[in-house]
Structure 1
Amino acid sequence: MEPIRLAVNGRTDIGQVRDENEDSIRCHSDPDHPFAYIVVADGMGGYSGGATASDIAADTLQGELDKLLDTPFLTCSRERQHIMLRTALVEGIGICNRKILETKKTRPQFSQMGTTLVAAAIWMDFLIVAHIGDSRAYLWNDYGLQRLTRDHSVVQEMIDAGQLTAEQAQTSQVRNHITRALGISEPVEATVNSWTLTESALLLLCSDGLTEYIDDHTIERVLATYRPALECVYHFIDDANRRGGRDNISAGIIEFCNRPEAVTEFSGDPITLQPKATHDITVRKSRR
């Protein structure tokens, strides 16, 4: 098995309209082990409530993931490591939820706060993604772009039920409504999926401030074109701001390289990818 190289980059931006950034992002790549993660939280509630909720979620989950690489983890079997990573992610999300709920009880001014969350971690060639709400994760490799998450939103449920098309969802009166979030009730249910990575790839996590303006076709084009690949986060945020920037915008990328030539591929000259037709939906949350 080729040595695995992981690198990360992330950025959050207030956008062009809002007075406060309610997004939070945490990125980490371990210098000694093939371990990396990104956490993106998109808060809601206004008047600093959303920022507080997203900070609690991002800080808490970061702390739980940072504790993972101890001696028991490093010395156990690969299968056991996968279980431990999943457990850390799921239990960490539960802790995030309880902390937000506890804060709401002690700070009545934040009674309406909550946050979406999307988190991804890679250990060696094992990728795990958990999400709540409409912040998303994507994977891009030589085969194209794959969306790894399905929005927890009213319009997505209507699309799944055949009651709405993707095009109609873009102008739906309920397109801002999410169906799951941290800080609403106990317990919280995250969607968790995992994959084994066999090809070098780019993993993108983002808040809906990005996907409000940039569809899957454009995401694929940017990830396939710009090098160094980690600088795509700046292109994404700049593009969203140029197109209106009505929401806060967050994007984080993990480079996963499992062959030597991929390091040059992701850091060197642009490559071209023939785009495929996609149908995308755009959703945003109700903030107030």
Structure 2
Amino acid sequence: MMLYQFSSRSDTGRLRTNNEDAVACEASLGLAVLADGMGGYNAGEVASAMATGTVSTALGTWLLTHQEKASARETAIAMRLSVERANQAIHQASLDNSEFTGMGTTLVVAVFSGARVLVGHVGDSRCYRWRNEQLSQLTRDHSLLQEQLDAGLLTPQAAQHVPYRNLVTRALGVEDQVALDVGEHVVSPGDLYLLCSDGLSDMLPDDALAQLLKNGGPEEELAQTLVDAANAAGGRDNISVILVRATGGPPTRRLLPRWWTR
């Protein structure tokens, strides 16, 4: 049986006065949720809290009764429905309260079960996998910057210096519907999964992240090390991380990841 160890940290950073990130973990269900809010005064905090709270409650309730027998596709559907519920709640709150007008949030959610993980995301909050001293990004940002990289309009080097790195093209709460990208990945014993807000990934390039993960250590200490490194690099935004370590279980055969997009 594969076992999973969860740890998380969320920090305001060095320049912000409030934390608009939110994290939620339900280790017994293999569930991790992270959101990075945006909007006017306090609205980002409201959006991210609503997203993590709604998704962890709705999806957690479903997992509690269905997880053992559910297929990957059924779990992906449940994940998508919980995110749609969160999106509708955030969008309606923005319409009902003028202080919340325009609020939204990115989201990354992972469900670990047996020797697989389903990862869903909206926006530029990410999920990485550290395996055999190799760092892989399992999500692809929904951002203007990523679109320009994909179109060949920017080089990765030039992308480090553009002023619109944080402009996302998809977020919860902005419209009455949202599309969640979901991917299924095979888990191997020893894998380490990192969910993070862009307050970490913007401050630390992949090679710096890889070096910190290579240095290792207990998950609780490593989560704090990542936050500290982002702050040392400038800490321009809120910083949130969730680490999930896979231990035990038999070796798994290699499978190609599967993706579902709407």
Aligned positions of 1:203-282 closer than 5 A: 203-259=193-249
Match of 1:60, SS state, is helix
User: Equivalents in 2 of 1:192, 1:142: separation in Å?
Assistant: 24
Aligned positions of 1:1-288 closer than 5 A: 3-30=1-28, 35-74=29-68, 76=69, 80-142=70-132, 144-259=134-249
User: Equivalents in 1 of 2:172, 2:162: separation in Å?
Assistant: 24
Q: Name whichever of 172-181 and 132-141 sits farther off.
A: 172-181
- TM-score, structure 2 as length reference: 0.91
1:121 is displaced (CA, Å) by: 1.1
Distance change >3 Å, CA 71–CA 64, structure 1 → 2: closer
**AA matched with 1:22:** E
User: Equivalents in 2 of 1:169, 1:71: separation in Å?
Assistant: 45
User: Equivalents in 2 of 1:146, 1:157: separation in Å?
Assistant: 19
Which digits, 9 at most, give the CA deviation of each residue in 1:90-126, with x for residues without a partner? 1111011000011011111110210010111101112
User: Equivalents in 1 of 2:130, 2:166: separation in Å?
Assistant: 27
Higher Rg of the two aligned structures: 1
On the 8 A contact 1:127/1:197 being kept in 2, the answer is yes
On the 8 A contact 2:104/2:173 being kept in 1, the answer is yes
The runs of 5 or more residues in structure 1 that have no matched partner are 261-288
The runs of 5 or more residues in structure 2 that have no matched partner are 251-262
1:196 is displaced (CA, Å) by: 1.9
1:143 is displaced (CA, Å) by: 5.1
Identity %: 36
Query: RMSD of the TM alignment (CA)?
Result: 1.5
**AA matched with 2:145:** V
On the 8 A contact 1:128/1:195 being kept in 2, the answer is yes
1:175 is displaced (CA, Å) by: 2.2
On the 8 A contact 1:7/1:36 being kept in 2, the answer is no
Match of 1:269?
Answer: none
How many matched pairs? 250
User: Equivalents in 1 of 2:220, 2:148: separation in Å?
Assistant: 35
